[in-house]
Structure 1
């Protein structure tokens, strides 16, 4: 790697916090240059706007992009990645919304059409971000979130198409393929304590190798990648709540702080300690 490439990788600005607003799990602002997200999942709806540059990403085995002016909505538990389109990178603002904020029946529509060209929605999302950055304006933020939620639901319902919805929902939700769905439910139940592959195979009555292949075929991500991304999600919230990184590692199923740091940097782009220090208090 050249010195220029190494320098580009170090140009990252990250700010994250957990507002006291029901439904908003986390606010995340970042500027990335050469950093690329590997395939991962979130347990929340990811509401994303890109202010500078553009992001290319894969969702449900289809390539997408975030041209200027769009609002991107990624559903819970559906694997995706992300990378900058140009060397200049991208600057983004993200709201992670509780899975209950939007109807689970809209997951298929979000998978089919995650990038929404909607100037009104874009303005409302921007106003919500501005309000969330001001402590003491929680009631206003709740009001703005209600407007954003309503608009998102309207747009997603427009995208519902009877022939395509069933297919995407089957891949996105546990009932898609019985062994894979049961394994995902098991991993969700044991995010911190984990499970061995042999134990999982015995519990869902499947051969270990078949179970791994079935999970990847159903959800587009390996079981271990799914579990690690769920653990990192949980670690993010605990770090923003003020828990020390060592305690966070133990609470989220990582072997030690170094193990947490390795996976956290891979998925978030910065180390846990730096991430916690950026939080808006």
Structure 2
């Protein structure tokens, strides 16, 4: 019996398993047939792996490659808590091809433990997008976060393509033309003839936002105009591309500091 608690969350992507754990259990040597990426939320642990002995504490990103023998020993009396996503190798193959510009579909996660707040934030955003079935998260948000996360965890060398700024302009125009459309990262990248990762990186450099974040802002601006014109909140949410009113409300409040209902009352 493993002391503590484990929760396996339903994932929105086939071939991905999500685990939340809080335990003082000492795991023996074992392997997974999947890539594992996670974040320590509380406490610390020590583990041996095919990449040497490592220690990880709260805030650290931890990884494991398929077939890699590893264990896990808590440091301290209160155990540790973490979240983990396990990816079938086939799921990782496509973003790796994007990151290497088609040169390969196989890769190895380079760091068994790394202290990099941006990677941890990216992972937690990916975990939320994959496991919160009611949040209205889109495929573009999942793919963005997965690409950005893997780009930090897989060693690679490349240069920004000369066509990236033009491709960014084309993708931005596509979003502006109809921000309510169910766009995909693949479609936006194809417009400019660059890879999905090149688009995400170039878009962020040019606009300060990822394509998904830019799309959300355009939808929020549309919803705000509709609410100011007297549209019902439910109608404004659906007409501006959100999954439902609660999804719009959460993002509207986070962005503007006021709920759509209070905004409607104030503007009228």
Quick check: which has more Rg, 1 or 2?
Answer: 2
- Structure-2-length-normalised TM-score: 0.48
Q: Bigger relative contact order, structure 1 or 2, given CA contacts below 8 A and separation 6+?
A: 1
- Structure-1-length-normalised TM-score: 0.46
